[in-house]
Structure formats: structure tokens, C-alpha cells
Chains A and B, each alone.
Chain A
Amino acid sequence: MPHLSDLPHRHPFRFVFGEVEEDRIEVLLTPAGPWARGGAFPQFFALEILGQATALLMASRAPAEAEALRQPGYLAGVTDLVLHRQIGTEERFQVRAELERAFGALVKVRASLSSGTTLVAEAQLLLAVGGIG
């Protein structure tokens, strides 16, 4: 099971603070950090939140032999990003991710960011594990 420390990101660019539970992971935004000055959170960071959380979710589901999915990687692409409402600070979210396809070192995932039962953002993410050619 991946641990939060598996993410290379650190404050103030680490947005995932919960552990993987079943099919979701908790994300908590706090007023700490430069983003919350003036009370506004850069909305495009919803994408980074999805990316970090999805990476941990996918690593938690990888079978033992798919060691590649546990290697460091990065967000290589995004399509169909929709922000349904503004994200504020001091909010708690849940991220869910569904694997669409893995091929070689690439993983395509549909991820969603929710606050309780409210869908806040969603996107189709392309994660690259290791190097790509």
C-alpha cells in the first residue's frame, strides 16, 4: 500500500493529506501556504490535486507484478477538465479515480474531485511512469 511519503511533493505543493481508503483518498486544503493569501486558491491547482491523488490511488491498486505503477512519474497530459465550482481553502475533498487503460509506462485515468456528494472537478489524466519515449 503506497504511503503519502511516496509522493515527492512537499509543502506548499503537497495537497494530499489523507490515506487511501477503498476507492478514494482524502484531500485537505488549508489556509497555510502562499495560495491562500487573500482567500483565493488558484483554481487550476484542482488539476494538481487530481494528479497527486490519482497517482497514489493507482499505485494502491497495482498488482504486485506491476511494479512500474509504483515508480515515480508525472502528469503527462489532461483532457476534459471541468471545474464545476470554485475551490476554496479549508475544504475537505475526496478523489476517486477509474483506470481506463495502462499501456507500457502510461496510464490513462478518469478522476473526480468531490466535496461530500457534490462533484467539484473532473478530468481525464494521462500519467507517465518513469521516462517516456
Chain B
Amino acid sequence: MSRRVVLIEDEPNIIEAIRFLLTRDGWQVETHSDGADAVEVIRAANPDLVILDVMLPGKNGMDILKDLREIEGFETLPVLMLTARGQAKDREMAEKAGVSRFMTKPFSNAEVMDAVRDLHAQASQQ
């Protein structure tokens, strides 16, 4: 059964690049660009992993993450957060919200793929 990832990102060309990389790595990728209903999209997709941008239209990634962690069954779902804001306080805020991995833009493809594989491997062992 293929691994599933939901990518919440509003930058079309980042979506395209990440979708390409993950698909080649055997992931089934679902993408969504609006923060407002992102929690519902993730909930419905019930993925193995989420990649989440912070600055999104409708609702920011931090709030999406907080809401997601409140849902039963999603407390430990691996969430990789991508953001242009890499200050310590942003990282701390993400950690408090329950992020699994925090990555600042511009990231390399290798970093993203390593993080995705690591997070999935850790989750599989639990």
C-alpha cells in the first residue's frame, strides 16, 4: 500500500516540485492551497504524513497544526512544517504547537526528502 502525504502549500511551483519528488519516491500526494479548510482536508485524507506551509491564505499553518493536534488519532501524525520565518521564536512556537520537524525556506530537495523519510520511519516504528 502506498504511503500518503498531504501537502498544504500555496506556492504552485513549490507544490509541483515537491509533488514530483515525493511521487518518484513512491508517495501518493494530495495537495491543498487554502488554510481555511486544511484541517478538514487532512482529516479526510488521513495521511501518513503532512507537509505544511506556515503563511497560508485563510488560516496560518500554526493554527492548523494546533487544531490538528486536538483531533483524536492525529496527535502524533508526522508534520513537517515549511516556513520563510526561521527565527528561534518561530521554531519554538511550532514546537509548542506540536510540529514534528521544522524547515526554513529555501530548503534543498535532499533536506525535504530526508526529513520525510526520517519522520515516516520514526512513525512506523511506534
**Pair from one complex:** no
